[in-house]
Amino acid sequence: MKLNMLRRRTAAFLLTFAAAASVLTLTASADEPYEVYNYNRLGEAVPSQAGYLAERAVSGIDLGAGDLNSPQDFCRGADDCFYIADTGNSRIVKTDGELTKVLHIYSSFTMPDGSRTTLKNPKGIFVAPDTGNLYIADTDNSRALVCDTDGNVLLEITKPDSPVYDQGLTFLPQKILCDGAGNIYTVLSSTTKGAAMFAPDGTFLGYYGANAVARTAKVIADHFWNIIASDEGRKHSNRAAPTAFDNFDIDSEKGFIFTSTSSGTTDTDIVKKVNPEGYNLFSYLSGHKWGDLFSTWYSGTSYKTRIVDLDIGEDGSINCLDQTTGRVFQYDKEANLLFILGGTGDQVGTFSSGGSVTAVETRGKACEQICVLDAGKGSITVFSQTGFGETVHTATDLYNRGYYEEALEPWQSVLRQDGNYRRASLGISSAYYNMGRYKDAMEYAKRADASWVYNKAFARYRSEWLRNNMNKLLVTAVLLLTARLAWKRYRKRKGGAPA
């Protein structure tokens, strides 16, 4: 009897131990070389499930193209090939989509007159999704090139001699892209007026999409003094200039151009979504903080997010690359933060601190892969979506398209895997609201700490409750009134003074 009990206890103990051990190994194997976090409602960084895992890092030697020398940009074409602007080697490297081998190396191009021309520190590359033509910002040759995939130059854009373009300025294209109509945009380092815009035939059209001036106290004071100053005084006053954006990407499907500003001194217009008229559709997000919410202070230096590149995924997600910390911040198309990946370090998935990452690209219908170009190491790191990331993407996509009920199932799965994921609670709340389950919607709005969502669900819950219980309410009210009247009569008849 006693022995039996002992045996049972030992078995139970062993079982518990095995369970504990399996949990321990699980957490150990899921380790990332960096802390995976996300921001909660209060803006606190809390541990989170990883949406992406670093899969591998590919160097130029792995590809068979020799060392990449400080590559500044890369672009994925519609043919699912990567085109890397190998800046220090003054060439363009074309690889396959899996980043396994080199397909072609463009080191010289054929001009329309038949002569050969070479690049000099090209810092920007873009591949038109429709024609497949290459757009190269040939920076130190002060020109931009448009060529076909065989290396024949179709158009050479040099410094415009238009009166709109100040001839005292240099013409050093940094980044380049083209829109659906074939207009060419290039970011110059010499102006804050926006990107220089060219017609498909190369004529200069003007500037496009400048940032707004940050409303600092000084700017407002200057404006005030300008109002009361004399004309002579106005001539000598400071002109408020915005910070220039230094990178951009185009959502080819919708035609919006997204710009990013890496300046460490401003918080205005860090990421813009610019429509063809040049109007910033993200201007309503003026209080929105892109990247890390707080800058870190460490021995006298401030480490603030500096977004050097962004990429618009095929699902519309906005992937911002922070040069300071080597992190990619992935937002959905409504600018809600989805995932934070990457970091500083020496392992695969982390990058050397002090800003060596230069460009980010995504791959796949739902951003299954995120590739980060590291100029310091001359390598490309490939992050792959995890199961959790896939669920979040599915749910976000359904939710943003208005399929709240269909998004319920994936959101529930997200919440099971990461109880801190606030947008899941919001999504479930919206789903229940649409299904008419207002009580549940209220419950999940409470969990998400979203009083305005709760308010909406509560209003419907209340009117439903009133509709169902109106009879009872009326009956109770009538009964109470009669009881009161009867009580008064009774008191009066007894002759007591009413209280």
Partner 1 sequence: MMDLTQPQWVRHTVLHPFEGFEDLRWKKGGTLKYTAVIIAALFLALIANDRWCGFQFRPLPDALFSVVPYLMRSVVYFLAWVVGNWAVCTLLDGEGTMKNICIYSSYALIPYIVSTFINVILSHILVQEEGVFFAAVYYIGLIWSGLLLFSAVKAVHQYSITKTAAAVLLTFFAMLVILFLAVLFLSLFQKVYVFFYSLYTEILYRIRV
Binding site for partner 1 (CB under 8 A): 41-42, 442, 445-446, 449, 451-452, 454-455, 458-459, 462
Distance set, CA 447 to CA 38, 43, 293, 415, 444 (Å): 17, 16, 22, 11, 5
Q: How far is the CB of 322 from partner 1 (least distance, A)?
A: 27
Q: How far is the CB of 454 from partner 1 (least distance, A)?
A: 5
Q: How far is the CB of 480 from partner 1 (least distance, A)?
A: 18
Instruction: CB nearer to partner 1: give 42 or 181.
Output: 42
Q: How far is the CB of 40 from partner 1 (least distance, A)?
A: 9
Instruction: CB nearer to partner 1: give 459 or 475.
Output: 459
Q: How far is the CB of 45 from partner 1 (least distance, A)?
A: 14
SS3 75: strand
User: What's at 78, amino acid-wise?
Assistant: A
Q: How far is the CB of 3 from partner 1 (least distance, A)?
A: 52
Instruction: CB nearer to partner 1: give 21 or 473.
Output: 473
Instruction: CB nearer to partner 1: give 95 or 429.
Output: 429
Q: How far is Cα 255 from Cα 498, in angstroms, rounded to an integer?
A: 79
User: How do 307-312 and 52-59 pair as beta strands?
Assistant: unpaired
- Angle at the Cα of 181 (from 180 to 185), degrees rounded to 5? 80
311 and 371 in contact (C-beta within 8 Å)?
no
Distance set, CA 214 to CA 235, 243, 265, 322, 476 (Å): 21, 8, 10, 21, 62
What does DSSP assign to residue 152? B
400 and 349 in contact (C-beta within 8 Å)?
no
Instruction: CB nearer to partner 1: give 357 or 448.
Output: 448
Q: How far is Cα 295 from Cα 246, in angstroms, rounded to an integer?
A: 21
Q: How far is the CB of 422 from partner 1 (least distance, A)?
A: 12
Q: Dihedral of CA 478/479/482/487: which sign? A: negative
Q: How far is Cα 105 from Cα 99, in angstroms, rounded to an integer?
A: 14
Q: How far is the CB of 490 from partner 1 (least distance, A)?
A: 25
Q: How far is the CB of 435 from partner 1 (least distance, A)?
A: 20
Q: How far is the CB of 252 from partner 1 (least distance, A)?
A: 41
In the structure encoding, which two tokens stand for residue 435, read together?
A: 């299904």
Q: How far is the CB of 484 from partner 1 (least distance, A)?
A: 21
User: What's at 33, amino acid-wise?
Assistant: P
Q: How far is the CB of 456 from partner 1 (least distance, A)?
A: 8
Instruction: CB nearer to partner 1: give 44 or 334.
Output: 44
Instruction: CB nearer to partner 1: give 185 or 421.
Output: 421
Q: What is the largest CA-CA distance in the chain?
A: 121
Instruction: CB nearer to partner 1: give 286 or 469.
Output: 469
Instruction: CB nearer to partner 1: give 437 or 446.
Output: 446
56 and 63 in contact (C-beta within 8 Å)?
no
In the structure encoding, which two tokens stand for residue 361, read together?
A: 């690209």
The CB-based long-range contact list for 421-429 (8 Å cut-off, 24+ gap) reads: 421/38, 421/48, 421/49, 421/392, 422/40, 422/41, 422/448, 422/449, 423/336, 423/396, 423/448, 424/395, 425/450, 426/450, 426/453, 427/395, 427/399, 429/453, 429/457
Q: How far is Cα 282 from Cα 288, in angstroms, rounded to an integer?
A: 9
316 and 333 in contact (C-beta within 8 Å)?
yes
Q: How far is Cα 427 from Cα 407, in angstroms, rounded to an integer?
A: 7
